[in-house]
Structure 1
């Protein structure tokens, strides 16, 4: 009961935050208002995509409210009552939570894109010129190297980061036990765990530590803004797949679906591509020069999210939960 009340409080606080600072409304008094609840990193892309949609026939008269934050926290807030017409999160389990809550349809991923709207890969952000000579994952556990990555119990990006690190060891021929031991060594070098991927990268940009494990799109976005950093795409890294879905609770299902359909249009996918995301529409992806790491793998190669979540992120007995507890880090979802 205490946990349920805390979730309800979180939802209420996020609603207040939505009204106070996370709101984006189009000019003009449209009859339809959609609320997009999303994870933090694609804000700049949606800031351009929403006005583009409003210029289409389907988007005429549609206004938007937007809320951005750590993926897991956003998902839990919607599950606890935060209104949403469209949800766009960092990873599939945050959508699946809403399926279990009866807010998103079970068949949300039954389309040609498997429910995804963008892709990315996990990269290693470094200081300009790469003074620590970071080339891959093994360099992160060398003496003196300090690493930034978000808290995996609030951030979807953190879970991608951890599975990229773990999977890199499997790809290199290590056993599961050796890969788990690598995670323990890696977390000995992690000094700061922020709530979201965006906050984590900002901590790095503020001068903290030597390396930030982050999304490729976040590194590209930072460089586009003139921030001083470089990044390394490891040979072994994971394909990040970002989902989107219309909620069953929306009062405007046709318009919400039209918006999600627009997100897969060439126009919107180009905007995503320009912001550092890898388009899921292959004809648009081919227009960009994103590198293909030689050892690229997917979450399915590691057993899929159901298996991974139970093995690594179960707060009672998960591999990562045990590592965090040993470090004195809370594994309570926020």
Structure 2
């Protein structure tokens, strides 16, 4: 049985059922055609297609078409800020949405719903070669002699920032100090041999033979295996809950809000689960091909860190770790030559 990992989302299914009834009765104002410009981070592309097809069959999706754009989360957010058309945004990081709030493109109350603006979630995982020849079972194995790591670039990719915080946080979760965590992260970067611009490009690089381990979303690892990639993945004992936010823009058509509601419905979350995302609501039994155990695809890690509890929220984490002038990660990237 798959259960939600966010307690605040437990009531979402009932609430969305009510809002869905209202949307059905309003269905696309007389059958009028509406186009939704959907801008998302790269890993969503495959998972969104079946959701779009299912939504278009609902009363709320009648007459609705989609124009989509996918890429590295930070790059996509900056593109919307600079004028790329968007009715719905679905990014890897909270900061990529708040950038658009600051620009006047998204309402300030975008994250006040039952899931606090989160549309999908996953956990940080470690992808390894078939049979795990380097015997990588956790974070400490990544900094052993001869191990080469691939992770996206934190300058452009949201998934990279989740990865970096999970790597840093595991040291604290196992009793280490912040100095220990900094020392570990420096070693981690010294073992990093590729920093592609997005999570999807990182998977492509690893699939092409670069590195011994890829730091990735669990759902990205599952999707790659569904597509025939012959590698394994490990959910470390200490990992970080990945929470991907989304919002409608201020001038979006009514269908955009109905799409957002559909994403958070039981049907929408079950479809996302089939592609490896951990559902935000109880979707009942679900079999996920490509998972380590398809009948029990989302095991609970021993220690599941969150951005709020362990890092003080994204505003604090962004300044402390990723600020270009004073952040720990740019500093360590310069020291290790991985900037």
Deviation string for 1:133-167 (max 9, x for gaps)? 00100000001100000100100000000000011
Deviation string for 1:271-294 (max 9, x for gaps)? 10000001111x116646310001
| Matching residue of 2:8 | none
Deviation string for 1:281-324 (max 9, x for gaps)? 1x116646310001111011211111110011000111001112
> Per-residue deviation at 1:45?
1.1
The one of 169, 183, 189 aligned to 1:187: 189
| Matching residue of 1:230 | 232
Is the partner of 2:303 in helix, strand or coil? coil
Residues 189 and 338 in structure 2, CA contact (< 8 A), matched pair in contact too: no
> Per-residue deviation at 1:326?
2.5
Is the counterpart of residue 304 in structure 1 residue 336 in structure 2?
no
| Matching residue of 1:100 | 102
Q: Name the CA distance, whole Å, in 2 between partners of 1:280 and 1:33.
A: 27
| Matching residue of 1:294 | 302
| Matching residue of 1:271 | 271
Q: Name the CA distance, whole Å, in 2 between partners of 1:320 and 1:135.
A: 24
> Per-residue deviation at 1:249?
2.8
| Matching residue of 2:261 | 261
Higher relative contact order (CA 8 A, sep 6+): 2
Number of aligned residues: 299
Is the counterpart of residue 51 in structure 1 residue 50 in structure 2?
no
The equivalences for 1:209-248 within 5 A come to 209-248=211-250
Deviation string for 1:29-64 (max 9, x for gaps)? 962111000000011111111111111111111111
Residues 30 and 63 in structure 1, CA contact (< 8 A), matched pair in contact too: no
The one of 113, 137, 141 aligned to 1:139: 141
Unaligned runs of 5+ in 1: 1-28
TM-score norm. by structure 2 comes to: 0.86
The alignment yields a C-alpha RMSD, in angstroms, of 1.3
Q: Name the CA distance, whole Å, in 2 between partners of 1:185 and 1:324.
A: 11
Deviation string for 1:196-216 (max 9, x for gaps)? 001001100111110000000
Residues 273 and 285 in structure 1, CA contact (< 8 A), matched pair in contact too: no
| Matching residue of 2:205 | 203
Is the counterpart of residue 280 in structure 1 residue 288 in structure 2?
no
Q: Name the CA distance, whole Å, in 1 between partners of 2:84 and 2:55.
A: 24
Unaligned runs of 5+ in 2: 1-30, 288-295
Q: Name the CA distance, whole Å, in 1 between partners of 2:46 and 2:279.
A: 15
Is the partner of 1:278 in helix, strand or coil? coil
Residues 99 and 105 in structure 1, CA contact (< 8 A), matched pair in contact too: yes
Residues 274 and 286 in structure 2, CA contact (< 8 A), matched pair in contact too: no
Runs of 4+ in 1 over 6 A off after TM superposition: none
| Matching residue of 1:25 | none
> Per-residue deviation at 1:117?
1.0
Q: Name the CA distance, whole Å, in 1 between partners of 2:334 and 2:32.
A: 50
> Per-residue deviation at 1:327?
3.6
Residues 80 and 235 (structure 1 numbering): CA distance in 2 closer, same or farther, change over 3 Å?
Answer: same
Q: Name the CA distance, whole Å, in 2 between partners of 1:205 and 1:147.
A: 13
Residues 186 and 336 in structure 2, CA contact (< 8 A), matched pair in contact too: no
| Matching residue of 2:153 | 151
Is the partner of 2:156 in helix, strand or coil? coil
Residues 241 and 307 in structure 2, CA contact (< 8 A), matched pair in contact too: yes
| Matching residue of 2:83 | 81
